[in-house]
Amino acid sequence: MRADRSVAPWRVPVLCLRESRPSVLVVFALRFGAGAALGAAGSWPSGALLGICSWTLAVFFVYLFNGVTDVVEDRANGSSRPIAGGLLRPGTAARVAGGAAVLALCLGVLAGPLFAVLVAALLVLGHAYSAPPLLLKSRPSTSVAVAVSAALLTYAAGFVAAGGRLTEVTGTPLPQMALIMAAWMGLVGAPAKDLPDALGDAAAGRRSFLTAYGLARTRILLIAAPASLAIAAGLVSVAEPLLAGMAICLSAGAVLLAGLAVKVGVGSRAPYRVFMATQYIAHVAVLLSVLWA
């Protein structure tokens, strides 16, 4: 399907934003905010605003570029996103993504040398995930590794942008929160996403959790991983009360996912929706805990 030539130029940014999955951009902003809240020492430096703008642009690049490279998969899955639907040309989206990457790096440099390194790492990781020669999205192990790494980089970026010093990070609940929530993204998000994307993954020749391990083992992972992470969060919250809200949210999400996993089949989006909603609420809980503290 060819993109519509009649699309007005002013609609291109809107279509690119839709393609980059706004719900995911919000999740990354919440991760960044949680890291920043735990890194801020009573006040926010001017670099924090540059930081969130830079990081959001970098995430925008990662997911827009992924949309450019996922045309076969998205169309096989019946995606309504602009590129798969023929409203946005892949070439146009690729140019916008490249511009966003350059701007992200420029703002990152203004935010500070260490922050710029983190931005560059996310850009490289996002490109390696979607494009040859590495094409990290094509295997379950590397796909999970990228998801976990992107989350950890985001927490670190928020912490650094808010003036936090890496030498002092162990004095905050950030390492525990970051590891648990990054694992939630990798070990829960990846199999949950594979269920609705199974047809597209097969059409593109990608090995997903479903193709590698089968539906039964994917269901087991969707029960065991959330439960394990919820238990870990509960144990951590005993020593770190700021993470108590996060632990409660993960426990609720784990219960819902367990109930869904035993009955849903290939094509269901319900587990993915619960995974995403749990992420939203857990990060909001951390932010509110820090503000009240």
Are the C-beta atoms of 147 and 24 separated by less than 8 Å?
Answer: no
Segments making up each domain of the chain, as ranges:
8-170, 173-293
Per-position pLDDT tens, the chain of length 293: 444 455 678 899 999 999 999 999 999 999 999 999 987 755 566 678 999 999 999 999 999 999 999 999 889 888 889 999 999 999 999 999 999 999 999 999 999 999 999 999 999 999 999 999 999 999 999 999 999 999 999 999 999 999 888 888 988 999 999 999 999 999 999 999 989 887 777 777 777 888 888 889 999 999 999 999 999 999 999 999 999 999 999 999 999 999 999 988 888 999 999 999 999 999 999 999 998 87
At which residue do the structure tokens 């999970």 appear? 144
Write out the chain in H/E/C secondary structure.
CCCCCCCCCCHHHHHHHHHCCHHHHHHHHHHHHHHHHHHCCCCCCCHHHHHHHHHHHHHHHHHHHHHHHCHHHHHHCCCCCCCCCCCCCHHHHHHHHHHHHHHHHHHHHHHCHHHHHHHHHHHHHHHHHHCCCCCHHHCHHHHHHHHHHHHHHHHHHHHHHCCCCHHHHHHCCHHHHHHHHHHHHHHHHHHHHHCCCHHHHHHHCCCCHHHHHHHHHHHHHHHHHHHHHHHHHHHHHHHCHHHHHHHHHHHHHHHHHHHHHCCCCCCCCHHHHHHHHHHHHHHHHHHHHHHHC
pLDDT on residue 200: 75
CA distance to 22, 157, 246, 264, per residue, from 234 (Å): 30, 25, 9, 27
For residues 98 and 100, what is the distance between their CA atoms, to the nearest angstrom? 5
Is the pTM for the entire model greater than 0.85?
yes
AA identity, residue 293:
A
Q: Which contacts qualify for 212-217: CB closer than 8 Å, 24 or more apart? A: 212/140, 213/140, 215/265, 215/266
Which CATH superfamily is 8-170 part of?
Answer: UbiA prenyltransferase (1.10.357.140)
For residues 276 and 283, what is the distance between their CA atoms, to the nearest angstrom? 11
Structure tokens at 99: 């511009």
Q: Is 57 exposed, middle or buried (0-12, 13-18, 19+ CB in 10 A)?
A: buried
Structure tokens at 288: 């509110």
For residues 33 and 27, what is the distance between their CA atoms, to the nearest angstrom? 10
pLDDT on residue 1: 44
From the centroid of its chain, how far is CA 289?
22
pLDDT on residue 43: 57
